[in-house]
Amino acid sequence: MRVSQMLIPTLREVPAEAEVVSHKLLLRAGFIRKSAAGVYTYLPLAWRVLEKIQKIVREEMNREGGQEVLMPIMQPAELWRESGRWDVYGEELIRFKDRHDRNFCLGPTHEEIITDLVRGEVNSYKQMPLLLYQMQNKYRDERRPRFGLLRGREFIMKDLYSFDRDEKGLDISYKKMYRAYSNVFSRCGMQFRVVEADSGAIGGSDTHEFMVLADSGEAEIVYCENDDCSYAANVERAISAVGEDSSNEVPSRLQEVHTPDVGTIEELTSFLDISAEKTIKTIIYSADDEIIAALVRGDREVNEVKLYNELNCLHMELASAEMISRVTGGNMGFSGPVNLDICIIADHEVKNITNAVTGANRTDYHLINVNAGRDFEPDKVADIRMVQAGEACPYCSSPMTGARGIEVGQVFKLGDKYSRALEATFLDERGKEQYIVMGCYGIGISRVLSACVEQNNDEQGIIWPGAIAPYHVVIVPINVKDNDQLNMAERVYNTLSDNGIETVLDDRQERPGVKFKDADLIGYPLRITIGSKALESSELEVKKRSSGDIVMIPEENVCEKVKSMLSY
């Protein structure tokens, strides 16, 4: 292709709304343009990358026995009513009516659709395992779409659904997908980590997320530094070793102290000159129609995902200031577990604190020398704290590292959650009716494109890994008015193209510097420059974008040399 005929609208500046590097670069390098908030057009270079990512994904899904289908975006509400999810999701689910006034939604995911398909076609154990997948646009009306393709309202997802006769079969399907995902992200040239994750609203047991490590990632993970251990988890679910009670203090007499305006842990620790580890943070929540108190050590945060799972409630939110005063007798910041007659759920670490300090349930007063078991008895002791980097790995006690990640893939064991709701059953060998056992597995195709840019860029622009680069080589003739240079450029362009090397020829009437800047910004893996020197020596200057290395190669070796430099 000749650049003078291509739509690659590069920019020098980007709109301020672009906060993360991948969003800035994809706009500047002419890969995407916004059509609406969180809704994008993929321009030609982006579409070439997406097609390569999809090709890699297809190969790995097919290798594991996946069969590709294409499901509708337009989903009838009836199926979502059968699964019980029509009323669970709020504004995020884009709903509309057809001309006959029937309710539909734009598919944010396809469990209902695929289970409805399978319940009509699968009725014997002989038909399983069955792995069906698609590459399809998904619609989720994010309140705050941001970061370009990383959190859009319309995005491309590969979603595969596995159907097995029992849990053993599901384990096998799950392992197949786990392996396939590792291959996909490795082949896309990305550094990733697999982390244990929370199965959230869709329930089910096991679930793992594939995280591309990037500081702009919205997910927080912790992982064990001990390579033999390999524990890694999304902080929503991560656990850590519970330390023993280090102090060998004896429990002292409970006392109330006047702490005027001391309403935060920070103020409390400096006012009483104690460490946060000696305090008990008491947070009041309303869970459905009950008020509960969650206790964690003062230097920790409540992990609301873990708390929500422990409470097994539908709706949970922080109690209002008015509710706190009414229930505890003191203002927010002065709550504590002593003489508090609501359900108290305490993190494991709380019972290890001897002579703790906590709110007195009286404004401007705290209690010192509080000891669990003597001064209060939690109704439940559970793991409800947010794990922090540096804490000990729960398996090998090595310190854990914190990182931010972009979730590019997730694998879930669904069990019979949807097959039971939609009565998707089969007859086993004994003719007994059983529920099909399902798994679901997603890869954010358009998100992979952005995540790859987040991990592969520098000041000059994008650095595409060879496997998914929009083109492999850009040829830059220094002076397109010089016929000899242009002829040589065309000759090299044809040689490379005829050998399956995807090449563009930058034949624009632009200064070389502009062409060099664009080549670096767009991120072609290789740039071949042809100027007067090349004509004399018939040697080509080849620059490798990832390392910046420049080598001179004789024109007749250009194909194998380029192939070896691209090897991926």
Footprint on this chain of ligand 9G3 (rule: CB under 6 A): 89, 92-93, 108-109, 140, 159, 202, 410, 412, 440, 442
Q: In the complex with ligand 9G3, which residue's Cβ is closer, 204 or 523?
A: 204
**How distant is the alpha carbon of residue 40 from its chain centre?**
19
In the complex, minimum distance from the CB of residue 60 to ligand 9G3, in angstroms, rounded to a whole number: 16
> What residues contact 79, with CB distance under 8 A and at least 6 apart?
112, 113, 116, 422
In the complex, minimum distance from the CB of residue 447 to ligand 9G3, in angstroms, rounded to a whole number: 12
Give the N- to C-terminal CA distance of the chain in Å, as an integer.
Answer: 23
Q: In the complex with ligand 9G3, which residue's Cβ is closer, 152 or 333?
A: 152
Q: In the complex with ligand 9G3, which residue's Cβ is closer, 44 or 84?
A: 84
Give dist(CA 425, CA 298) in Å, integer. 50
Q: In the complex with ligand 9G3, which residue's Cβ is closer, 305 or 381?
A: 305
Give dist(CA 503, CA 470) in Å, integer. 9
Give dist(CA 421, CA 410) in Å, integer. 22
Phi first, then psi: give them for residue 284, nearest 5 degrees.
-100, 130
In the complex, minimum distance from the CB of residue 85 to ligand 9G3, in angstroms, rounded to a whole number: 6
User: Both tokens of residue 243?
Assistant: 């330390």
Kindly state the DSSP code that residue 385 receives in the 8-state scheme: B
At residue 557, the 3 state secondary structure works out as: helix
Q: In the complex with ligand 9G3, which residue's Cβ is closer, 155 or 471?
A: 155
Q: In the complex with ligand 9G3, which residue's Cβ is closer, 77 or 318?
A: 77
Looking at residue 189, its amino acid is G
Token pair 């242009």 is found at: 486
In the complex, minimum distance from the CB of residue 199 to ligand 9G3, in angstroms, rounded to a whole number: 9
Instruction: Give, in degrees to the nearest 5, the angle at Cα 538 between 535 and 541.
Output: 90
In the complex, minimum distance from the CB of residue 272 to ligand 9G3, in angstroms, rounded to a whole number: 45
Q: In the complex with ligand 9G3, which residue's Cβ is closer, 50 or 197?
A: 197
Residue 15 CB neighbour total at 10 angstroms: 10
Q: In the complex with ligand 9G3, which residue's Cβ is closer, 106 or 332?
A: 106
Q: In the complex with ligand 9G3, which residue's Cβ is closer, 444 or 461?
A: 444
At residue 41, the 3 state secondary structure works out as: strand
Q: In the complex with ligand 9G3, which residue's Cβ is closer, 118 or 350?
A: 118
In the complex, minimum distance from the CB of residue 201 to ligand 9G3, in angstroms, rounded to a whole number: 7
Q: Exposed, middle or buried: residue 545 (CB in 10 Å: 0-12, 13-18, 19+)?
A: buried
In the complex, minimum distance from the CB of residue 313 to ligand 9G3, in angstroms, rounded to a whole number: 19
Give dist(CA 69, CA 181) in Å, integer. 19
In the complex, minimum distance from the CB of residue 130 to ligand 9G3, in angstroms, rounded to a whole number: 16
Exposure on the CB side of residue 76, measured as CA atoms within 13 A: 8
At residue 411, the 3 state secondary structure works out as: strand
Q: In the complex with ligand 9G3, which residue's Cβ is closer, 439 or 477?
A: 439
Q: Let me know: does 125 contact 100? Beta carbons within 8 Å.
A: no
Q: In the complex with ligand 9G3, which residue's Cβ is closer, 140 or 527?
A: 140
Q: Let me know: does 199 contact 207? Beta carbons within 8 Å.
A: yes
In the complex, minimum distance from the CB of residue 459 to ligand 9G3, in angstroms, rounded to a whole number: 36
Nearest to 156 by CA among 51, 17, 30, 75: 51
In the complex, minimum distance from the CB of residue 140 to ligand 9G3, in angstroms, rounded to a whole number: 5
In the complex, minimum distance from the CB of residue 90 to ligand 9G3, in angstroms, rounded to a whole number: 8
* Phi-psi label, residue 207: left if phi above 0, alpha if psi -120 to 50, beta otherwise: beta
In the complex, minimum distance from the CB of residue 8 to ligand 9G3, in angstroms, rounded to a whole number: 33
Question: What does DSSP say about strands 365-370 and 425-427: parallel, antiparallel, or unpaired?
Answer: unpaired
* Phi-psi label, residue 318: left if phi above 0, alpha if psi -120 to 50, beta otherwise: beta
Nearest to 566 by CA among 494, 497, 464, 475: 464
Give dist(CA 30, CA 8) in Å, integer. 5
Q: Where are the alpha helices (DSSP H) in 64-122?
A: 77-82, 111-121
In the complex, minimum distance from the CB of residue 88 to ligand 9G3, in angstroms, rounded to a whole number: 8
Q: In the complex with ligand 9G3, which residue's Cβ is closer, 117 or 202?
A: 202
Strand segments, DSSP code E, in 65-218 are: 67-68, 74-76, 95-97, 103-106, 130-139, 154-164, 192-196, 207-213
In the complex, minimum distance from the CB of residue 38 to ligand 9G3, in angstroms, rounded to a whole number: 13
Q: In the complex with ligand 9G3, which residue's Cβ is closer, 309 or 410?
A: 410
Nearest to 152 by CA among 220, 236, 94, 89: 94
What torsion do the CA atoms of 70, 73, 79, 80 make, to the nearest 10 degrees?
Answer: 130
Which residue is closest to ligand 9G3 by CB?
442
Exposure on the CB side of residue 133, measured as CA atoms within 13 A: 27
